């Protein structure tokens, strides 16, 4: 029986060679995700061509999802080998200069004027929030910050700044320029980063055109959670971007928000991708943890359309093993999925959950619920 839950695998340094891509497809990758924030756009276009060629050779279709960078603030490079930031150490946050590098003592932020907005007491997170800093004082060329929770940072991690002080909008001009170059290359979907309202999704849809790729809204800000129904209504699908959600909202809220996003996507008949840290331990380990296996299975039980691997396949020690593990977990979970019960209550869930939906949607939901009663 075909697997219902699709597997999205991020292509990166560990998985970009044709040989590994071929193995990923054979292991069960359904959608290849390309992050446009890393490297020149020409590299991504070449990878799309290579993916299509390998897919044709194997006779196995693959979807291609490109992820727009959005207004995400990043640091200047730390280096792929990684830099450890120790708890209690003090470092300087400053605006990045051309050719700047970040280190354990100096973190260069690649957004003009952002550091100037920081004040003592502000919290700043790096990457998926595992490393957090507290601003202690302003200095002539930036701010000094103390490491509250440490860890290893690699490459150009994202920087989460206080949202009430550093306002960012999506899509950016750079996003729209990338869309002009990438949409003609045969991509199937475009993920919009840091969506805050339905208008952000509408702007990308206008840019790709009526016959362009699917537009996937990444739910990773408090504003997007507040405007969830309107965003889902205008999108072709949504992504539960748990990494940035966990940075911007209390961690204990993330599981409940995830369930709400999946429930709303199902009610609207829109695909939902559950993403970030699903098999995180497999970046370095040969097998996932029991908690990760349970996390993936629970997403399947909730009705997610797809589960996504990020660093596990982009920089992990064995990207193919991560896809194989994800495939086994989702297949086993689907054996316990009660499709009849799930389908029978879907119409009633739509009526309960979509009080503010357009009248046409509510009428359709009522008819569906009546037919399954």
Catalytic residue among 47, 72, 156, 218: 218
Q: Where are the alpha helices (DSSP H) in the chain?
A: 18-27, 41-58, 173-182, 198-208, 222-226, 228-234, 242-248, 254-268, 290-302, 311-314, 319-335, 339-353, 359-372
| Fold topology of 83-160 | M1 Pyruvate Kinase; Domain 3 (2.40.33)
- Give the contacts of 210 (CB within 8 A, at least 6 positions apart): none
Say which of 72, 74, 156, 270 is annotated catalytic: 74
Note if 22 is an active site residue: no
Angstrom distance (rounded) from CA 357 to CA 222: 20
Neighbours of 309 (CB within 10 A): 29
d(CA 272, CA 261): 8
Helix (H) or strand (E) run with residue 109 in it: strand 106-109
3 flagged as catalytic: no
Segments making up each domain of the chain, as ranges: 6-70+173-335, 83-160, 340-372
Out of 5, 264, 274, 276, which one is annotated catalytic? 276
**Is 248 designated active site?**
no
Tokens of residue 119, six digits: 């004040």
270 among known catalytic residues:
no
Catalytic residue, chosen from 5, 6, 10, 33, is 33
In this structure, are residues 5 and 274 in contact, taking their beta carbons and an 8 Å threshold? no
- Residue position matching structure tokens 């260069």: 108
Within a 13 Å sphere around the CA of 95, how many CA atoms are in the beta-carbon half? 10
Q: Which helix (H) or strand (E) holds 65?
A: strand 63-67
Give the CATH fold of the 6-70+173-335 domain. TIM Barrel (3.20.20)
Q: pLDDT 10s per residue in the chain (373 long)?
A: 789 999 999 999 999 999 999 999 999 999 999 999 878 899 999 999 999 999 999 999 999 999 998 887 889 999 777 899 999 999 999 999 999 999 999 999 988 888 998 999 998 999 877 799 999 999 988 999 999 999 999 888 889 888 776 767 889 899 999 999 998 898 999 999 999 999 999 999 999 988 899 999 999 989 999 999 999 999 999 999 998 898 888 889 999 999 999 999 988 889 999 999 999 999 999 999 999 999 999 999 999 999 999 999 999 999 999 999 999 999 999 998 877 676 665 654 554 455 555 555 555 555 555 554 5
Residue with tokens 């009522």: 366
- Cross-strand bridge partners of residue 66: 34, 190
What DSSP line would sit under 125-190, residue for residue? EETTTTEEEEEEEEETTEEEEEEEE-EEE-SS-BEE--TTTS---SS-HHHHHHHHHHGGGT-SEE
In 3D space, the residue among 311, 302, 316 whose CA is nearest the CA of residue 273 turns out to be 302
């Amino acid at each position: 029986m075909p697997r219902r839950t699709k597997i999205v695998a991020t292509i990166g340094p560990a998985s970009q060679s044709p040989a590994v891509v071929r193995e990923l497809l054979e292991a069960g990758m359904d959608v290849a995700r390309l992050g446009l924030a890393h490297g020149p756009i020409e590299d991504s276009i070449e990878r799309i061509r290579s993916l299509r060629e390998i897919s044709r050779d194997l006779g196995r279709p693959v979807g291609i999802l490109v992820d727009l960078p959005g207004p995400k603030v990043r640091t200047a490079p730390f280096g792929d080998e990684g830099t450890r930031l120790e708890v209690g150490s003090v470092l300087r946050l400053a605006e990045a200069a051309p050719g700047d590098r970040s280190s354990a003592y100096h973190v260069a932020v690649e957004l003009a004027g952002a550091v100037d907005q920081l004040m003592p007491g502000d919290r700043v997170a790096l990457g998926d929030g595992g490393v957090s800093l507290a601003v202690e004082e302003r200095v002539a060329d930036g701010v000094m910050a103390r490491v509250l929770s440490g860890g290893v940072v690699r490459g150009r991690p994202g920087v989460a700044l206080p949202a009430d002080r550093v306002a960012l909008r999506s899509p950016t001009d750079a996003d729209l320029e990338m869309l002009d170059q990438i949409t003609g290359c045969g991509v199937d979907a475009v993920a919009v980063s840091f969506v805050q309202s339905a208008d952000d999704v509408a702007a990308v849809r206008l840019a790709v055109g009526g016959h362009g790729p699917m537009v996937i809204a990444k739910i990773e800000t408090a504003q997007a959670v507040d405007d969830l129904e309107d965003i889902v209504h205008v999108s072709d699908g949504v992504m539960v971007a748990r990494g940035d959600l966990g940075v911007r909202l209390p961690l204990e809220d993330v599981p409940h928000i995830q369930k709400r996003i999946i429930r709303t996507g199902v009610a609207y008949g829109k695909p939902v991708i559950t993403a970030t840290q699903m098999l995180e331990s497999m970046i370095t380990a040969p097998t996932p943890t029991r908690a990760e296996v349970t996390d993936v299975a629970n997403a399947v039980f909730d009705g997610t359309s797809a589960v996504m691997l990020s660093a596990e396949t982009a920089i992990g020690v064995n990207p193919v093993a991560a896809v194989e593990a994800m495939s086994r977990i989702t297949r086993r979970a689907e054996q316990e999925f009660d499709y009849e019960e799930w389908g029978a209550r879907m119409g009633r869930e739509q009526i309960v959950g979509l009080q503010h939906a357009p009248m046409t949607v509510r009428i359709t939901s009522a008819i569906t619920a009546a037919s399954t009663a």
